[in-house]
């Protein structure tokens, strides 16, 4: 008897197999295409992966039972839209069946008239290169003809749930602070470390270094997040007031307000901006992130010390004058 005949192949449990695969965290994409007849399709997929840099090839796979496959097979091009952390609703929408997925969705046409979704983390416009057999899926290989990189924090999928990118805790162990107490005391007596401007600048750098990655898990850029929080705080509503409180260039405010309006987070009235209900919810989530970080940073200080600190800050910006 052949030795190989003694080996019995265990029957894989599909549910357990899928659960095990779920331990591999992936990004979330929506792959879109349009055929010559103008039929548009889009499916949520986490099977995207890179294949080659030269030539630039990527791949993804689609269930053979999918009613969207004929359009992907007919279309000359398709687009892989890598979703940001702010696009969970869009991911859910394109995962549904028997609805017009593109109704109310912000997009423009790219190569081969394939729909390119707005405000994603990154976009890869591809020419259909090859379709391969892959069990119960078709493996579609694309040659990248154009791409954009918006740098937004991506939406992740892990163990059957949406997730987001956070720096690994071990990366925060290598602190830049001096650990020699005598040398530290000597350093603090120098003119530089008794200069309020220098210390506030360094303090802001240190604070944002740990806060910014947490804020980015929302999928919003810093300017967009600040704008939402300022509008929620009701200290500014016009462009001039936002320029003062958001502290980014006017060009960035124009871009941020346009993006937030397209995301249905903001209403642009003639003389002022206002948050939608969805925008208020997004701002509340941002405040929760900010409050959590603030609590962590100030946990070793007493309530009196914290209040004195905030009083000084308000004085410096002229709020208590």
Residue ranges with strand state E in the chain = 26-27, 29-34, 40-45, 49-52, 57-63, 77-82, 107-109, 115-117, 122-134, 137-149, 155-158, 161-164, 266-268, 273-275
pLDDT tens digit sequence for 77-118 = 999 999 999 899 999 999 988 899 999 999 999 999 999 999
The pLDDT of residue 166: 73
C-alpha atoms less than 13 angstroms from C-alpha of 115 in its C-beta half-sphere? 24
The neighbouring-strand residues paired with 58 are 50, 142
The pLDDT of residue 62: 97
Sequence-distant (6+) residues with CB within 8 A of 230 are: 236, 242, 245, 246
- pLDDT above 70 covers a percentage of the chain that reads 89
pLDDT tens digit sequence for 182-229 = 666 676 677 887 888 888 888 888 888 888 888 888 888 888 898 999
- pLDDT above 90 covers a percentage of the chain that reads 53
pLDDT over 70 at 238, yes or no: yes
Identify the band that residue 245 occupies on the pLDDT scale cut at 50, 70 and 90.
confident
Contacts 24+ apart (CB under 8 A), 136-140: 136/63, 136/64, 136/65, 137/47, 137/61, 137/62, 137/63, 137/64, 138/61, 138/62, 138/64, 138/69, 139/59, 139/60, 139/61, 140/59, 140/60, 140/61, 140/62, 140/72, 140/78
């Amino acid at each position: 008897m052949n030795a190989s005949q003694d080996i019995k192949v265990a029957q894989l449990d599909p549910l357990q197999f899928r659960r095990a695969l779920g331990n591999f965290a992936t990004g979330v994409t929506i792959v879109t295409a349009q055929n010559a007849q103008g039929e548009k399709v889009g499916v949520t997929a986490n099977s995207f992966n890179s294949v080659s840099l030269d030539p630039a090839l990527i791949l993804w796979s689609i269930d053979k039972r999918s009613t969207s496959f004929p359009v992907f097979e007919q279309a000359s091009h398709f687009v892989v839209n890598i979703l940001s952390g702010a696009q969970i609703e869009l991911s859910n929408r394109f995962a549904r069946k028997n609805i017009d997925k593109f109704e109310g969705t912000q997009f423009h046409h790219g190569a081969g008239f394939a729909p390119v979704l707005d405000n994603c983390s990154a976009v890869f416009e591809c020419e259909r290169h090859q379709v391969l057999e892959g069990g119960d899926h078709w493996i579609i290989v694309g040659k990248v003809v154009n791409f954009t990189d918006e740098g937004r924090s991506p939406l992740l999928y892990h163990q059957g749930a949406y997730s987001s990118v956070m720096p690994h805790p071990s990366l925060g162990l290598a602190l830049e602070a001096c650990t020699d107490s005598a040398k530290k005391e000597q350093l603090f007596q120098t003119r530089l470390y008794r200069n309020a401007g220098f210390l506030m600048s360094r303090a802001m750098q240190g604070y944002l270094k740990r806060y910014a990655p947490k804020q980015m898990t929302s999928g919003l850029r810093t300017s967009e997040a600040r704008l939402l929080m300022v509008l929620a705080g009701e200290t500014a509503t016009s462009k001039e007031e936002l320029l003062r409180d958001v502290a980014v260039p006017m060009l960035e405010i124009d871009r941020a307000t346009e993006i937030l309006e397209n995301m249905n987070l903001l209403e642009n009235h003639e003389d002022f901006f206002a948050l939608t209900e969805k925008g208020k919810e997004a701002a509340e989530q941002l405040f929760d992130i900010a409050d959590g970080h603030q609590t962590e940073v100030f946990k070793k200080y007493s309530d009196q010390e914290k209040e004195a600190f905030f009083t000084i800050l308000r004085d410096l910006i002229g709020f208590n004058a």
